[in-house]
Structure 1
Amino acid sequence: MKKILCSIFTLASLYATAQGNNYVQDYTKYQDLAMTPPMGWNSWNKFACNVDEDMIKQMADAMVSSGMKDAGYTYINIDDCWHGDRDAQGFIHPDPKRFPNGMKALADYVHSKGLKLGIYSDAGSQTCGGRPGSRGYEFQDAMTYASWGIDYLKYDWCNSEGLKAEGAYKTITAALKHAGRPIVLSICEWGTDEPWIWGQNVGHLWRTTGDIYNCFDCIKDHGSWKAFGVMQILDKQDGLRRFAGPGHWNDPDMLEIGNGALTAGEDRAHFTMWAMLAAPLIAGNDLRTMNKETAEVLTNKEVIAVNQDKLGIQGFKAIAEDGLEIWAKPLQGGDWAIVFLNRTTSAKKIDYDWSIQSIYDDINKLAASFKATTYKIKNLWDKKDKGTATTKKAFKADLPAHDVIALRLTKTK
């Protein structure tokens, strides 16, 4: 009798093994999303918790009317504090006073403009703003977002005590996959657990640092945490470019352009360097009231083309001396973007001799050899042709403090 029972148990075990484990989760993200860095708008930098349905609709309208949609911006992302309560079954609902018509109706409105809607949650028990987090409700929340028609999820890391980041983000990506709607996952873990190492198959972008602060070159000390200016964030990208590429991007946080603290030159520098980093271009200003100068920065299609280049290669710092940096980014067709960044508080004179050295990308094994190749030069901010990059003539220009000169070098036939 014992032999018979043992045989039955063995056969059952073999059958179960052959059938596979039906409860194994798919911890990989949706593929073929965010093949170039995502472009859009997010509510946090300007409005923090002050979000509501009417404002989001107005931002969608302004994204279209301002020319931002035509320039490539796609996502209208609601950050923290949209949440209401969970019902008796644990499903989340939006704040009924702020979003009286619900998220499905809002998503339909945004989609009707040819745009996509993003939303926010947190891996912990509460969001950073004290609203209900997704811990323990990941699959319910993912199904809810899918039913609403959400296209993008920023997933934060507050109140996450006891969780391991890689596991927590794998859980939400499995939930999104199970829900059946392709949703871009933005990992907002602040770079603490090195998401660039494990995030490529989990999310489509990952924050590399703590929050950005609305200044060009400073650190804001909040006591238990720090926020960083544009230059501090830029420096923290060192060593990370090899992890980025189509569908998986380093995210140095959202743009502060148009929020009042930066000069016109600093706005240009901020936007240009995020383009060179192949970073997500997520505006954080009030699109309804931005002035002409802000709109011209955010919709500069030639700088955006550097960011959205299909090669998906993150740029690198080639030369740095006395506060003047030269950055390079390989582009499709053998083109290059070259940027002169003046980090100092004094103007600099540029006298760059193309014959002295070539530019070499040691990760992708690509070179701009000015001795062997002639490139046409275009200034991406004044839109003027600047001759050719050859060994016979240096590039000369005056570069104001906290500003950039951005060039596209196009290989001649």
Structure 2
Amino acid sequence: MKKLIYSLFALSLSLGAMAQGDNYVQDYTKFQGLALTPPMGWNSWNKFACNVDENMVRQMADAMVSTGMKDAGYTYINIDDCWHGDRDAKGFIHPDAKRFPSGMKALADYVHSKGLKLGIYSDAGSQTCGGRPGSRGYEFQDALTYAEWGIDYLKYDWCNTEGLKAEGAYKTITAALKKAGHPIVLSICEWGTDKPWDWGQNVGHLWRTTGDIYNCFDCIKDHGTWKAWGVMQILDKQEGLRQFAGPGHWNDPDMLEVGNGALTPGEDRAHFTMWAMIAAPLIAGNDLRSMSKETVEVLTNKEVIAINQDKLGVQGFKLNGADGLETWVKPLANGDWAIAFLNRSDKAQKINFDWAKQNIKDDIAKLETSFSTTTYTIKNVWDKKDKGAATTKKAFVGEVASHDVIVLRLTKKK
């Protein structure tokens, strides 16, 4: 009898342990159904760095609406580093009371009232890159706090992460977000060091592929212990990564520098175009309140944005290149194609693209086209004078200025 009682007791302990263990099993997968096209929005860092406050964020939300950016598809107003105040006695984070006196929930409510979404920033380490409180050891508390505030997007950085492994750290924050229950887009900002494209597809919705962008077209900024990269250097570093991108999981070459003054109008066009061609998130990083007409025209070009937001979700690739002139292609839904002629050289370049001699084959997307058997109409998406009458029956002839781009959308002729 004693043996039976002991056996039943042991069984009950075992079952209890199993049940308890089930309660603590974590879901290390991201929220599904988000970022099915590359996220579009604005982030504070490139222009303002740590100089953020609630009035400025509200004004950016207003400007996103008034400038037509919202109508063009931009959704997220993202606050980067330095919004943080202190943690309270129980460990919960609070925003800086001087910079965000109304609180983050009120700010989220305001942004939501504009039909937009609010993003926020934290770090997998003990401190953020700007020296504010990081989320290490507080992941589940922070996730609950963000959910309570109504946050829609989290950029999660990688400073001060001594001893941590990237995959595990990002799985922890995604499990915390999942446990909190409020759908949030997770932006993995690990700089590509631990190859997040290998493990990030089920963990986050986008992942940084490189270190920080630098506001120049073709240069490198050496900070001693680390480097920042110009637009062309960032573009080059995307080679070999396109097979990892797709709806809900995007390669992220960092935020846009369009409108921040260092780039010429042509370089702004080229920068924006190439981010569209490689299906990158379109996160503006300029002051939306004081944009020039030219900057607005770049950021709101709906035909270029349509290439980026194409539902097929295939990242473009370089077809060929010589003497600084590169030809890039991107397959689109319904059999369309985007073709970009990027001039990286310091002089204008002539284009004579004979369609009859060019067949495009995308081994990754399993798509191809033959211009000898299929005729396409051609739309030059930056040329306001384009009448859309050209077809691929004749070679495309043109000239692209130095550090500029020509972009064509090809549609099957009916």
> With structure 2 as the length reference, what TM-score do the two structures score?
0.97
Q: Does 1:115 align with 2:116?
A: yes
When the two chains are superposed, the root-mean-square deviation of aligned CA atoms in Å is: 1.3
Match of 2:233 in 1: 232
Seen in structure 2, the aligned counterparts of structure 1 residues 21 and 69 have a Cα distance that, compared at 3 Å, is same
Q: Does 1:180 align with 2:181?
A: yes
Partners of 1:376 and 1:182 in 2: CA distance: 41
Per the TM alignment, residue 389 of structure 1 is displaced from its structure 2 partner at its CA by 3.8
CA contact (8 A) 1:213 1:220 kept: yes
Partners of 1:9 and 1:407 in 2: CA distance: 72
User: Counterpart of 2:269 in 1: which secondary structure?
Assistant: helix
* Code of the aligned partner of 2:135: S
User: Counterpart of 1:90 in 2: which secondary structure?
Assistant: coil
Seen in structure 2, the aligned counterparts of structure 1 residues 19 and 97 have a Cα distance that, compared at 3 Å, is closer
Match of 1:305 in 2: 306
Partners of 2:310 and 2:182 in 1: CA distance: 27
Seen in structure 2, the aligned counterparts of structure 1 residues 87 and 20 have a Cα distance that, compared at 3 Å, is closer
User: Counterpart of 1:355 in 2: which secondary structure?
Assistant: helix
Match of 1:385 in 2: 387
* Code of the aligned partner of 1:204: H
* Code of the aligned partner of 2:179: H
Match of 2:78 in 1: 77
Seen in structure 2, the aligned counterparts of structure 1 residues 11 and 88 have a Cα distance that, compared at 3 Å, is closer
Q: Does 1:269 align with 2:253?
A: no
Per the TM alignment, residue 387 of structure 1 is displaced from its structure 2 partner at its CA by 3.7
Match of 1:408 in 2: 409
Deviation per CA, 1:100-122: give whole Å up to 9, x if none.
00000100110111100000000
User: Counterpart of 2:141 in 1: which secondary structure?
Assistant: helix
Partners of 1:250 and 1:354 in 2: CA distance: 30
Match of 1:247 in 2: 248
Per the TM alignment, residue 411 of structure 1 is displaced from its structure 2 partner at its CA by 0.8
Partners of 1:246 and 1:183 in 2: CA distance: 16
User: Counterpart of 1:129 in 2: which secondary structure?
Assistant: coil
Seen in structure 2, the aligned counterparts of structure 1 residues 360 and 388 have a Cα distance that, compared at 3 Å, is farther
* Code of the aligned partner of 1:84: G
Q: Does 1:164 align with 2:161?
A: no
Partners of 2:34 and 2:108 in 1: CA distance: 19
Deviation per CA, 1:38-68: give whole Å up to 9, x if none.
0000000000000001000000000000000
User: Counterpart of 2:296 in 1: which secondary structure?
Assistant: helix
Partners of 1:167 and 1:231 in 2: CA distance: 32
User: What is the 5 A alignment of 1:350-365?
Assistant: 350-365=351-366
Deviation per CA, 1:242-292: give whole Å up to 9, x if none.
100000000000000000000010000000000001000000000000100
Q: Does 1:92 align with 2:93?
A: yes
Partners of 1:79 and 1:15 in 2: CA distance: 44
Partners of 1:240 and 1:250 in 2: CA distance: 7
User: What is the 5 A alignment of 1:26-175?
Assistant: 26-175=27-176
Partners of 2:250 and 2:387 in 1: CA distance: 31
Per the TM alignment, residue 2 of structure 1 is displaced from its structure 2 partner at its CA by 5.5
Partners of 1:358 and 1:386 in 2: CA distance: 22
Seen in structure 2, the aligned counterparts of structure 1 residues 14 and 103 have a Cα distance that, compared at 3 Å, is closer
Deviation per CA, 1:50-90: give whole Å up to 9, x if none.
00010000000000000000000000000000000000000
Deviation per CA, 1:171-205: give whole Å up to 9, x if none.
00000011110000000000000001100000000
Partners of 1:306 and 1:225 in 2: CA distance: 33
* Code of the aligned partner of 2:325: L
Match of 2:223 in 1: 222
Partners of 1:12 and 1:115 in 2: CA distance: 51
User: Counterpart of 1:302 in 2: which secondary structure?
Assistant: helix
Number of residue equivalences = 412
Match of 1:204 in 2: 205
Seen in structure 2, the aligned counterparts of structure 1 residues 375 and 193 have a Cα distance that, compared at 3 Å, is same
* Code of the aligned partner of 1:310: K
* Code of the aligned partner of 1:255: L
Deviation per CA, 1:230-249: give whole Å up to 9, x if none.
00000000010010000000
Partners of 1:2 and 1:160 in 2: CA distance: 52
Per the TM alignment, residue 394 of structure 1 is displaced from its structure 2 partner at its CA by 1.0
Per the TM alignment, residue 412 of structure 1 is displaced from its structure 2 partner at its CA by 1.4
* Code of the aligned partner of 2:367: L
Per the TM alignment, residue 7 of structure 1 is displaced from its structure 2 partner at its CA by 5.2
Partners of 1:64 and 1:278 in 2: CA distance: 24
User: Counterpart of 2:290 in 1: which secondary structure?
Assistant: coil
Higher mean alpha-carbon deviation, 6-15 vs 339-348, is at 6-15
> With structure 1 as the length reference, what TM-score do the two structures score?
0.97
